[in-house]
A and B are shown apart, each in its own frame.
Chain A
């Protein structure tokens, strides 16, 4: 007779696994990646692949030779970090810079805390901000590569130009529809609003994220921007541009929702999104730089443990 297993209940489990969650996020990122390749050409693919390969590679090396644990690269989390890091960079960034970003993201922001689930800050954002302050001329220029569709003629002769936010800050006009589909300057993953929203819906449908963080983030940013714009339309950017431009959607949908670094409860997630929204618009409107999403999310990452402590679920019978 075979031996019977004895364990506590429950004796069944859902079929959701860490691996499935992570690969779902990867799939959700693909539409934005495809649009990016379409508009920026093979450069976009090259940057993304470099980033992914280095992120996964560093994770494997660190786990195997420094931490001496069984590598967990198959769980897909390093792939996500790689794609997200690439999505925050321009398509013409030198590849050695991408590799440095990957080392900081995985080595410093993730593995030094103990790996998946233990890191307080979003690794991709840490990597991105590190590059941003270390190599400003390479990753945060005033001139960004402009899209030149793979299957179509380039509209202009110039290959670089300002991102929409930069242009708007200078008072230039930007076409809203182009921003929506992605025909605009910017970092790899932030250009196409529609594909980011599709990715968000995929994750929502597969129950990988809940609506609370993105809706609160985007809603707060929109309302705050609207108030500023109503007060002084000549100085502040129209709220619709604020929402569609830059990394706001990318941040709200893919980075603020990172479960490891955001609050556990729905209530906490609403607060988290609110904080991200307010900080983003403050940084964008009053700061020296056109962008603010990365810093907003990282600051809220730091506040997450406090939010978790302050906003507990209401227990039954209390």
Chain B
């Protein structure tokens, strides 16, 4: 079975919500929507306090290159335009909405009816994706339309769809593959058309045999979409690793996938593209897995953007006794949440509640030089070397040891028997190296 070419680990899968069908989460009474919810330049707010908005109405516009539109996920009145604290504790511009009865903006098809025929051409599709504020739902929130504007001199051979979901606990992609396979694949077809390629490769990990079977059967009704089972190994879903697993092409250091003729998007993004292009629906809701070993009712929920995280937790039985960490995303790459009152954003695909015991780090001992961090690193780096340079504040040495190539998958810290904070130290190195590089550029 195909997989990437070096390193990797296999953490406990804990896919506790595999069998929970997607449930629609009720609309909150008050919602907070961040003006910018993507990677890149901030969007420009185009509504004011007191304005009435409808569901799907544009509220912030992309006026710069790497930027995305933001739409109102609710019908209601804007009561305040202020900053709000996001789940990591940062304050960001946001609008506060008093939610009224849901009324979708005219022109949006909010029915569940499947629209198969693709009427738009390549440029129109890209324009539509931009208009509907689609961002990468794999976690990075990179504006999707930019990926399809291929730079001069480059050519795409493959569209690669990431349906790996290699993170433990997460099941949102798995559920849409099972419940909404056709929507996903129409989305893939649209992206294929936007990119002008013959072939789309959809990578799915072998721990989801029913999703693979269901997608493969559905794909028979499409042309040029190949469903490829991959070995269950983390981080199979990391962009460069996935490209290698599917095409045996190695993205050069510091370059983008297009360098080797690939464009990568998540299966959830493909579904969002389907809604955007076929049904004129902006990205205002997403599937959120609320899970954790002690959670009373673990669920896969369809949640509007801007829903308070606390309300989702309450809906699923409340915060279990002894919860030590709440994580947005999976346990390997997710971010620890410091503000439960913070609203969800476009990319909030999971809220994971972990007990103190499960999430606390093991005792730290001296490095044994066992080399496990080196052997599990999917980027072929030497985490222990970078960490030692970081401990001695030798940032330039850390740079020479390729710290900047680290994808922060966490395999090193996961594996280290001595419990060394390897990834933390690499992250610190990356920060310092970034600063050094900016200074160099100024000179």
Q: Closest B-chain residue to A72, C-beta based?
A: B365
Contacts A21-B370, A21-B417 given: A11-B378 contact, CB under 8 Å? no
Would B408 and A9 count as touching, CB distance under 8 A? yes
Cα distance, A18 to B366, chains bound together (Å): 9
User: Looking at the complex, which one of A75, A118, A313 makes contact with B381 (CB distance below 8 Å)?
Assistant: A313
Contacts A5-B356, A14-B415, A17-B417 given: A315-B405 contact, CB under 8 Å? yes
- Residues on A with beta carbons closer than 8 Å to the beta carbon of B91: none
Cα distance, A266 to B376, chains bound together (Å): 12
Cα distance, A75 to B381, chains bound together (Å): 28
Contacts A10-B410, A12-B168, A316-B378 given: A259-B419 contact, CB under 8 Å? no
Contacts A9-B408, A259-B371 given: A315-B379 contact, CB under 8 Å? yes
Cα distance, A12 to B12, chains bound together (Å): 9
Cα distance, A115 to B367, chains bound together (Å): 10
Q: Closest A-chain residue to B363, C-beta based?
A: A17
User: Looking at the complex, which one of B319, B334, B402, B417 makes contact with A11 (CB distance below 8 Å)?
Assistant: B334
Contact with A along B291-332 (1 / 0, CB 8 A): 000000000000000000000000000010011111100011
User: Looking at the complex, which one of B333, B336, B368 makes contact with A4 (CB distance below 8 Å)?
Assistant: B336
Would B323 and A12 count as touching, CB distance under 8 A? no
- Residues on B with beta carbons closer than 8 Å to the beta carbon of A115: 366
- Residues on A with beta carbons closer than 8 Å to the beta carbon of B405: 315-317
Q: Is A20 an interface residue (CB 8 A)?
A: yes
Cα distance, A318 to B240, chains bound together (Å): 13
**Interface size on A (CB < 8 Å)?**
41
- Residues on A with beta carbons closer than 8 Å to the beta carbon of B5: 316
Interface residues of B in 368-419 (CB under 8 A from A): 368-372, 374-375, 377-382, 384, 402, 405, 408, 410, 413-419
- Residues on A with beta carbons closer than 8 Å to the beta carbon of B250: 316-317
Would A4 and B325 count as touching, CB distance under 8 A? yes
CB distance from A10 to the nearest CB of B (A): 3
Would B6 and A316 count as touching, CB distance under 8 A? yes
Q: Is B423 an interface residue (CB 8 A)?
A: yes
Interface SS majority for chain B = loop
CB distance from A143 to the nearest CB of B (A): 39
Interface SS majority for chain A = loop
Q: Is B337 an interface residue (CB 8 A)?
A: yes
Q: Is A314 an interface residue (CB 8 A)?
A: yes
Q: Closest B-chain residue to A314, C-beta based?
A: B380
Query: Which of A5, A114, A263 gathers the greatest number of chain B CB atoms within 10 Å?
Result: A5
CB distance from B322 to the nearest CB of A (A): 8
Q: Closest B-chain residue to A11, C-beta based?
A: B331
CB distance from B284 to the nearest CB of A (A): 27
- Residues on B with beta carbons closer than 8 Å to the beta carbon of A210: 375
What are 11 sample pairs from A and B whose C-beta atoms fall under 8 A apart? A7-B424, A11-B354, A12-B331, A18-B417, A20-B417, A210-B375, A263-B371, A264-B374, A265-B374, A265-B382, A315-B379
The 6 A-B residue pairs whose C-beta atoms are closest, nearest first, are A10-B410, A117-B366, A264-B371, A317-B253, A315-B380, A259-B370
Q: A314-B380, A316-B5 are in contact. List 20 more A-B contacts (CB 8 A).
A: A1-B319, A2-B322, A4-B325, A4-B337, A9-B331, A9-B335, A10-B413, A11-B332, A13-B361, A13-B362, A13-B415, A18-B368, A18-B419, A21-B417, A116-B368, A117-B365, A264-B384, A315-B379, A316-B250, A317-B254
